[in-house]
Amino acid sequence: MPFTKEEILSYKYSNDPRDIPNELKNFKLLITKCNYVLEHLNIVHNDGEIWKLSDKEIDEESLLLKNLNLIFNKISSENYDAVIMELIKLEKINNKNIINKSIEILIKNIKTNQVFGRTYARLCKDIQDRNLWEYSESGKTIYFHTILIKKVQEECIKIMDNDIRKTDIEGLDKIDDVEEKYEMTNKCKKKYNGVILLIGYLYIYKMINDKVMDTVIKCLCSPFETNSELPDAWNLDFLYNLITSLDNNYDINTNTRQDIKNVLIYLTKDKRLSNKIRFKFLNITDKFSSPICI
């Protein structure tokens, strides 16, 4: 049988083992008004012949965040329906700190597990549509979507920040071993690419609008430095991955996107760019004549 925090703490000064239920030796902690079991804690221990409650504090916030992380880590397209039901069983989260940290955990996971990027975006859509996470501040309701987009925007700004990119490059240039440098470079690019892909998948689920998507694409294909006429090589990789991830959800053949279309075509012709880059974008621009492109 599960125990609440208050029931467990009520045994703190009971030294007679007969006074403490056997179930407490491996008890289950419940969040208030929630029947979802968070974690097993060995908080009751045997001190000689006496059973005592340990001094370990029961931090409900930390336990909830840990459990949410476990849910994020095991979610996939195959088991999505089952896992989302676990999330729904949790009491509605209306704690600002928990929501912010949960989104940070989610974004961190996306940076390292990009294969599940679309599934994570679907999760975000479900959280928003089901009103699972939101909190009130100064009499105003702050919705999950608002918090998520703000966090994603902050991550996107880091990707477009020239000083941060220079710091990354300088750090990589200090690595002498070729294989280690290659590995660390890919790791560094991967964390940025994960955020860019998340933006694309959120766009597919209509959590990001056309204006934001167009702005991100324009930033990625624009020169990174003021003294350069060419886009940054890393950003072009991110751009290619973003556009290809959008499948048929982003129509380049619109009047408002003519400038983006022209730039993408230009990338296939500028011989100052490597053949690899030009041919990659040629795979995209070849589809422009189709009724549904990209």
Using one digit for the tens of pLDDT, what is the confidence trace for 140-160?
Answer: 999 999 999 999 999 999 998
Residues 95 and 117 placed together within one structural domain of the fold = yes
Residues 142 and 43 placed together within one structural domain of the fold = no
Place of tokens 């760019």: 273
Place of tokens 């097993």: 40
Q: Are 178 and 187 in contact (CB under 8 A)?
A: no
- The pLDDT score that the predictor gives to residue 32 is 41
Domain annotation covers residue 151: no
Residues 74 and 134 placed together within one structural domain of the fold = yes
Domain annotation covers residue 183: yes
- The pLDDT score that the predictor gives to residue 286 is 81
Domain annotation covers residue 184: yes
User: d(Cα 41, Cα 27) in Å, to the nearest integer?
Assistant: 6
- The pLDDT score that the predictor gives to residue 217 is 94
User: d(Cα 267, Cα 127) in Å, to the nearest integer?
Assistant: 38
Q: How many residues does the chain have?
A: 294
Over the range 253-280, which residues count as b (16 or more CB within 10 Å of their CB) and which as e? eeeebeebbebbeebbeeeebeeebeeb
Q: Are 66 and 40 in contact (CB under 8 A)?
A: no
Residues 132 and 71 placed together within one structural domain of the fold = yes
Residues 237 and 272 placed together within one structural domain of the fold = yes
Domain annotation covers residue 152: no
Residues 98 and 182 placed together within one structural domain of the fold = no
Using one digit for the tens of pLDDT, what is the confidence trace for 49-68?
Answer: 555 555 555 567 777 787 78
Q: Of the candidates 136, 237, 262, 112, which has an alpha carbon nearest to the alpha carbon of residue 187?
A: 112
Residues 170 and 248 placed together within one structural domain of the fold = yes
- The pLDDT score that the predictor gives to residue 50 is 53
Domain annotation covers residue 158: no
Domain annotation covers residue 136: yes
- The pLDDT score that the predictor gives to residue 134 is 93
Q: Name the least confident of 111-115, 165-169, 194-198, 201-205.
A: 111-115
- The pLDDT score that the predictor gives to residue 291 is 43
Tokens read off for 149: 């987009």
Mean pLDDT computed over 7-21: 69
* Virtual torsion, Cα 243, 198, 256, 293, nearest 10 deg: 30
For 188, counting Cβ atoms within 10 Å of its Cβ (0-12 exposed, 13-18 middle, 19+ buried), the class is middle
Tokens read off for 81: 């329906």
Domain annotation covers residue 290: no
Residues 174 and 247 placed together within one structural domain of the fold = yes
- The pLDDT score that the predictor gives to residue 5 is 66
- The pLDDT score that the predictor gives to residue 214 is 94
Beta bridge partners of 47: 50
Residues 168 and 281 placed together within one structural domain of the fold = yes
Name the pLDDT band for 34 (thresholds 50, 70, 90): very low
Q: How many Å is the Cα radius of gyration of the chain? A: 25
Q: Name the least confident of 95-109, 194-208, 254-268, 279-293.
A: 279-293
Domain annotation covers residue 239: yes
Domain containing 105 equals 61-146
Number of domains in the chain: 3
Residues 12 and 124 placed together within one structural domain of the fold = no
- The pLDDT score that the predictor gives to residue 238 is 94
pTM for the full model? 0.79
Residues 86 and 171 placed together within one structural domain of the fold = no
Residues 275 and 214 placed together within one structural domain of the fold = yes
